[in-house]
Amino acid sequence: MIIIGLGNPGNKYLNTRHNIGFRVIDQFKEKNKFPEFKLSRKFHSLISKDKKIILAKPQTFMNKSGQAIKALASFYKTKDLIIIHDDIDLLEGKIKISKSRGSAGHKGIESIIKEIGKDFIRIRIGIQPEKGKPENPERFVLQRFTKETDIKKAVEAVESLISNGLEKTMNKYN
């Protein structure tokens, strides 16, 4: 199983809404005592792995995430992928889990679908404020985001997917 958090590399993007996938992977790694991340040029990603699970943070920038994920999925010969990312169509605090869906305009997901198709599980984390979608979504997703409760909830959803499977997890979180 490969669990991938989407985001953009570099300190400039560290705590932005668009990097919530990286932050979930980081907390999952810490909570479950995975080894430190190491840069893999072969996979264009930071990688941490145990015996059964690989954690990945693509370093290709969001819009080219598919390149890294294709390299990982091809090498490890698996379609057992969980992708974690921000979703501007969901209100803050909401999590939706889905499988085999379209991109809904998310550039990182578009890149992944283009490279490997849409047969993967997604954990979508809402970032839309109560007042509705912002006028400039591109700028909005690159602003700071500090909702730790949303990140913890997403980590719990990942753990549930691993332990309980897709159907039970979707029933609990959707």
pLDDT > 70 in the chain, percent: 99
| Stated pTM of the model | 0.93
Could you say which of 18, 44, 85, 106 is catalytic? 18
Q: What angle do CA 61, 65, 70 make, to 5 degrees?
A: 145
Instruction: Please confirm, yes or no, whether 106 is among the known catalytic residues.
Output: no
pLDDT tens digits, one per residue of 47-57: 999 989 999 99
Q: Which residues of the chain have pLDDT under 70?
A: 146, 149
Burial 101-118 (b: 16+ CB within 10 A, else e): eeeeebbbbbbbbebbee
Cα separation of 89 and 76, whole Å? 32
The domain ranges of the chain are 2-173
Cα separation of 16 and 92, whole Å? 14
pLDDT tens digits, one per residue of 8-21: 999 989 888 889 99
Q: Which CATH architecture has domain 2-173?
A: 3-Layer(aba) Sandwich (3.40)
